[in-house]
Amino acid sequence: MNTITDHTTQFNITGGELTGDNVIESHKTIGQLHNMFADEAARQKMDQSQQVYRVQAYLPVPDGTTAGLFFGTTWIQPGTVGGEYFMTHGHFHQLADRGEYYWGLKGKGVLILMDEQRNGRAEQMYPGSLHYIPAYTAHRVANTGDEELVFSACWPSDAGHNYDEIKKNGFSKRLFNRNGVPTLEDI
């Protein structure tokens, strides 16, 4: 077979946009992120329709497929809730022994990591930064800049997402804007 076919899925390398077949998209607003930020009262006073982040993902194989890969892009808006930077939910993987890659495309942010013993650390994100998220590690990203933060990711299609652990116990560290300085604090 010597056939060359057209590929229908596209990735905009500068903006992160995905178009074509098997691309899904989700949005998260302030109103959908109850009890995620340290200051729930401050979150409740904000415009509940304000978008915090959105995600696009290219899913070329069914969810749960062994040895497959998924690819995605996340856009996080600038802002804070009670001084805590806008961020993603964060999660462990359902199959906790799966790793993941993130890389920065636009803006400034921080990747917040936490192992299963609740030891936390963080890495600066910026255009061109590359981040390996090891197995057994929860991860979330916060936008610390004044513009939209954009990053892409690649993860195993059988990894799944365990959001329940984070909803129940949260992260051991949170990222706050303290006089214009991103500050990682124990909670």
- Tell me the domain boundaries of the chain: 10-186
Could you give the CA distance from residue 114 to residue 140 in angstroms, rounded to a whole number? 9
pLDDT tens, residue by residue, 32-64: 999 999 999 999 999 999 999 999 999 999 999
- Rounded to whole angstroms, the Cα distance separating 61 from 158 reads 10
Q: Mean per-residue pLDDT for 100-120?
A: 98
Looking at 7-11, 14-18, 48-52, 152-156, which range is the least confident one?
Answer: 7-11
What is the reported pTM?
0.96
Rounded-to-integer distance, Cα 28 and Cα 35, Å: 14
Q: What mean pLDDT comes out for the span 14-35?
A: 96
Asked if residue 6 has pLDDT above 90, the reply is no
Q: How far lies 130's CA from each of 18, 111, 146, in Å?
A: 20, 11, 21
CB 130 within 8 A of CB 103: yes
CATH class of 10-186: mainly beta
Contact indicator for 96, 116 with CB cutoff of 8 Å: yes
